[in-house]
Chains A and B, each alone.
Chain A
Amino acid sequence: MKRIYVNEAWCLGCHLCEYYCAFANSGEDDMVKALKGVTIHPRIQIESQGNISFAVSCRHCPEPLCVKGCITGALTQKDGVITIDENKCVGCYTCILSCPYGAVMPGEGTAVQKCELCTRNAQGSPACVAGCPNQAIVWEER
């Protein structure tokens, strides 16, 4: 399946991926309305230290520990993509305990949030990839 791959050698640490992610998942069609003066909660997050930086988001593991461990059945995997049913999630954080990448995080409500490859928003394909100015984040088959 097509996955997001990150190349830290090309990452500028500009955090644009975080903003594109937050915008894509905001439900707003105006970027200013979605982001201006708002504390964003992106599902992709930059780690940086000195001159090294890279983005981290869900790897959509073939043997997903978050899905297997989910106590409610809110996390499921279909056609390789792991999504969350916010209606079922009670915010127990077992997925945060389980994810080896640290790619599941508390959301703005009770439910956790994670990258769903923009399959459940209007974007349709990963906004972080489209918005990365240096192709440090790609979405492809490998």
Chain B
Amino acid sequence: MRYVIIGNSAAAIGCVEGIRAVDPAGSILLVSQEPYHTYSRPLISYLLQGKTDRERMKYRPDSFYDDHGVECRLGTAVTAVDPAAKEIVLEGGQRLPYDRLLCATGSQPFVPPMEGLDSVDKKFTFLSLDDALALERALTADSRVLIVGGGLIGLKCAEGIAGRCASITVVDLADRILMSILDAEAAALMQAHLETHGLVFHLGDSVSSFQEHRAQLQSGGTVDFDVLVLAVGVRPRTQLLAAAGAQIDRGIVTDANGLTSLPDIYAAGDCAASWDISSESRRVLALLPNAYMQGETAGRAMAGEPKPFNKAIPMNAIGFFGYHIITAGSYTGQAHVHSHGQDYKALFTQDDRLKGYILMGDVARAGIYTALIREQTPLSTVDFDLIMEKPQLMAFSRTDRIQKLGGAPC
């Protein structure tokens, strides 16, 4: 069996480990456009912050490829996939055969057309190690930084560089920060926290044009800057498989085994769209744990021992300057909100199920809530008051507790 993996991040690594859990013998070829040993993409902000370094941000040890019998072609772009011939085509035209293929091409920054953007000399996106290194080279202690986008990527970038520049201004079209994971009250709390760390926000606003070092805002104001970071959003990198004829619905459409609409071709991670059980819809769940688990699932299926992954939900653990956020699921149904100082909790229930939650500040044991969503546990089987109070196993029935702590683990 000849396995080929395009990509070298969490989904690709998960696929290698999934394959090897089943098939110790088949050949694995991993092709990656980036020239680096596998690294943790979300750590690029921690790298700039000095909380990790190039060595520690390696996602697996140096011996990983050897240990798992993986042949690597790093720094090599794949230009096409030919499903009829069961071959991939590398830049330069070389064709390589596969029996099973994984596409784990991730996502790419989305940069909307903006007037005058060409006049800006120091502009960066913030998704890859190269992005982070380029931004780092451009930064000085005097840099005034403008970040367009107040989402996860933009704000994580802000935290990463906060100690290394003169000022940070964030502009976002949305009327609140972290729109994808926070409600209005939680977003206001976090915004206030970020403002105490010097960030300046222009929300509900956008850049109408750039003139070199000046951004003209829609609202009429201007922001002068030296360095521009574009963190408006990301898009699944689907071009290879779209051109090969795979079904695309924002991401590459996959089933619970990671199989695409094309035979023997799988997809996993940020490039793939899969079923979100909390919203009961097909979504691109661009987050590392799902990328790993989708990759591992695809690997097992590629090696002939499928173990479907059908419990995917959106989830995020993120913090800024020591203030932590953990969220999961979908914010539908009835909201149960408890707010006390910096601690914020919103639980969303519908049809006797926990559908989603937001925890900020006190995030202890959040995984108990995540499990309620993932396992779709009927809330009528738990003590509702106790589970609303805090995540705790005490809320489960005695029988369930005995099973959880005295029986076989997950």
Binding stretch for chain A, among B53-61, B122-130, B142-150, B193-201: B53-61
- A72 and B404 contact, Cβ closer than 8 Å, known pairs A56-B393, A93-B324: no
Minimum CB–CB distance for A101 against chain B, Å: 7
* CB-based contact A90/B46 at 8 Å: yes
B14 on the A face (CB < 8 A): yes
* CB-based contact A8/B405 at 8 Å: yes
* CB-based contact A94/B52 at 8 Å: no
Point out the residues of chain B lying under 8 angstroms from A88, CB to CB.
52, 56
* CB-based contact B409/A90 at 8 Å: no
Q: Tell which of A54, A60, A62 has the most Cβ of chain B within 10 Å.
A: A54
- Contact residues, A1-18 vs B (CB, 8 A): 3, 5-8
Point out the residues of chain B lying under 8 angstroms from A96, CB to CB.
317, 326, 363-367
User: 1/0 contact trace for B257-300 toward A, CB 8 Å?
Assistant: 00000000000000000000000000000001100110010000
Point out the residues of chain A lying under 8 angstroms from B410, CB to CB.
59, 61-65, 100
B402 on the A face (CB < 8 A): yes
* CB-based contact B326/A93 at 8 Å: yes
* CB-based contact B319/A5 at 8 Å: no
Residue of A nearest to B47 (CB): A90
* CB-based contact B317/A92 at 8 Å: yes
- Contact residues, B281-340 vs A (CB, 8 A): 288-289, 292-293, 296, 315-319, 324, 326, 328
Compute how far the CA of A60 lies from the CA of B59 in the bound complex, rounded to whole angstroms: 21
* CB-based contact A102/B59 at 8 Å: no
A47 on the B face (CB < 8 A): yes
* CB-based contact A94/B46 at 8 Å: no
- Contact residues, B355-400 vs A (CB, 8 A): 363-368, 370-371, 374-375, 386, 391-394, 398
Compute how far the CA of A49 lies from the CA of B61 in the bound complex, rounded to whole angstroms: 44
How many pairs of residues, A versus B, come closer than 8 Å at their CB atoms?
135
* CB-based contact B364/A94 at 8 Å: no
Residue of A nearest to B322 (CB): A91
A52 on the B face (CB < 8 A): yes
The interface on chain A, measured as residues whose beta carbon lies within 8 A of the other chain's beta carbons, has a size of 44
Minimum CB–CB distance for A132 against chain B, Å: 14
B406 on the A face (CB < 8 A): yes
Compute how far the CA of A109 lies from the CA of B10 in the bound complex, rounded to whole angstroms: 26
- A98 and B370 contact, Cβ closer than 8 Å, known pairs A56-B393, A71-B288: yes
Compute how far the CA of A135 lies from the CA of B205 in the bound complex, rounded to whole angstroms: 62
User: 1/0 contact trace for B7-32 toward A, CB 8 Å?
Assistant: 00010001000000000000000000
* CB-based contact B406/A93 at 8 Å: no
A69 on the B face (CB < 8 A): yes
Partner of A90, one of B52, B367, B368, B375: B52
A87 on the B face (CB < 8 A): yes
- Contact residues, B39-64 vs A (CB, 8 A): 40, 42-43, 46, 51-52, 56-61
Compute how far the CA of A60 lies from the CA of B293 in the bound complex, rounded to whole angstroms: 18
* CB-based contact B365/A8 at 8 Å: no
* CB-based contact A72/B43 at 8 Å: yes
Minimum CB–CB distance for B146 against chain A, Å: 26
Partner of B393, one of A68, A72, A91, A102: A102
* CB-based contact B394/A47 at 8 Å: yes
Point out the residues of chain A lying under 8 angstroms from B405, CB to CB.
5-6, 8, 54-56, 59, 101
Q: 5 tightest CB-CB pairs across the interface, nearest first?
A: A102-B365, A69-B289, A59-B409, A100-B371, A99-B367
Known: A54-B401, A62-B410, A97-B289. 6 other contacts (CB 8 A): A6-B405, A8-B405, A47-B393, A72-B59, A73-B40, A94-B289
